[in-house]
Amino acid sequence: MSRLSAVDSLFLGVETRELPAHVAGLQVFELPRGEGAAWLQAMMTELRRRPPGFPFNQRLKPGGIGLPELVTDDGFEIDYHLRHTVLPRPGNDEQLHAVLARMHANLVDRDRPLWEFYLIEGLAGRRFAFYIKIHHAICDGATFSKWMADATGTAASAPLRCIWERSHRHAGQTPRPWLEALQTPVASLRHSGDIALGLGKLAGRLVNARYLQHNERIALPLSGPHTALNAPLSASRSLAFADYPLEQLKAMGRPLGATLNDVVLALCDAALLRYLGEQGQHPDKPLVAAVPVNLRPPGESTAEGNYVTGLQVKLGQRDEGPAQRIQSIHQSVAAARALYSGLPNAASQAYSFSTALLGSVGMSLKLEGIMPPPLNLVISNVPGPRETRYFNGAKLVATYPISGIAPMTALNVTVYSYAGRLFFGMVSGRRAMPHLEDLKACLDEIYEEFRQALLA
């Protein structure tokens, strides 16, 4: 039995029909030469034979008091979790996106292990795809990326290995000794004190930086403008994808002393402002983005679950050019990081996740359009493998992240680096942003404008 952490449990607590709390990924493969539908059917037969490991064999324990627990699902059914979909001809990307949007809008069944895996057949150009969906209570983006990478190999001859074939178990899965259990209330009280002190220090830094030092790049709570990004949500979703050369994106920021993440934020910001302008909306102040940050030490890959916090980052002004926008956002990111510097991880997590809780309260009271939005969107960057990968001899040609939407926002943009390209996965509430492909078109235009301005 394994007890979820408070952060893991939060993703269960904020989930509603309009706000599914899962992360997902789309992997697109080329069929091996000479293979076709029979090869895919044989692979599906083999996949069904592969038993799940932890946490893919775990379900939520019914009832209970306190934080939720995971228990082994003795009635596990692979046919429920492993599914096969065939696109009708011509099998184009628009059909794929429509199918994925419907899959992504559905809640994960809490009475079973919290994941689903789809083989999608019939894509044009001798391609097929995997869509993998896992509840955010089980893993964050960094963990999910590692699991997906572990299920592929660096050569076509690499042995077949499924994402759910795992033997690792959380260290906290075994019952604690009675003495440790007695000490837990004392430890919890001490831990709560550290969080309170950290939050107090953070509040002091916010006031000092914004009001005494007059740092305009600080994003204060509830400081984002009202836009279509903060309209009421329905359960339906829209998806759009893009990808660009990774080295070109890095080169855009290098002369400015900016990171790849700064460039991604600037691209998304400029594209969103153009998109909103085309919808007749012109925000009167900069957008505010939540930017998840991995809290694992450099090189650490064994810690699983959710080890992330989120920076609140003020984006650029409407009239800024490419270089100025990147520099402004670089300053905003630096200011946000300085606020969290030296704080306990638990305190920074408590502050960032309080934003989600604030948004959840706003949604439950239907205060969209009345209450200032805690943030306008989420923009996340998850690193992936640098080298080309294969699954059962099939070459992985594209891999797009498909994340979830935060409370009182209608857009998530997650980027994923793989084999020299950066893949953008955009997810929106369909009612708030019904034409997400228009945002993708704006992003393509902005990328080309940045390339010409900064790399010519």
Instruction: Give me the active site residues, please.
Output: 136
**What is the rounded CA–CA span in Å between residue 160 and residue 61?**
32
Contact 425, 101 (CB under 8 A): no
Which run of H or of E encompasses 27? strand 22-30
Residue 270 phi/psi, 5-degree rounding, is: -65, -40
Structure token digits, residue 430:
């369909």
Residue of 239, 206, 6 whose CA lies nearest to 100: 239
**What is the rounded CA–CA span in Å between residue 397 and residue 375?**
34
**What is the rounded CA–CA span in Å between residue 300 and residue 294?**
10
Contact 11, 292 (CB under 8 A): no
The secondary structure of residue 32, as a DSSP letter, is P
**What is the rounded CA–CA span in Å between residue 241 and residue 47?**
28
**What is the rounded CA–CA span in Å between residue 389 and residue 395?**
6
**What is the rounded CA–CA span in Å between residue 54 and residue 274?**
45
Contact 29, 396 (CB under 8 A): yes
**What is the rounded CA–CA span in Å between residue 282 and residue 294?**
33
Residue 19 phi/psi, 5-degree rounding, is: -135, 65
**What is the rounded CA–CA span in Å between residue 441 and residue 373?**
26
Instruction: List, as own/partner pairs, every contact residues 430-433 make where C-beta atoms lie below 8 angstroms and the sequence separation is at least 24, other chains included.
Output: 430/101, 430/234, 430/236, 430/237, 430/238, 431/231, 431/232, 431/233, 431/234, 431/236, 432/228, 432/229, 432/230, 432/231, 432/232, 432/233, 433/228, 433/229, 433/238
Query: Interior CA angle at 439 toward 94 and 455, to 5°?
Result: 110
**What is the rounded CA–CA span in Å between residue 203 and residue 220?**
10
- Would you list the DSSP string of 296-336? SPTT-----S--EEEEEEE---TT--HHHHHHHHHHHHHHH
**What is the rounded CA–CA span in Å between residue 12 and residue 22?**
10
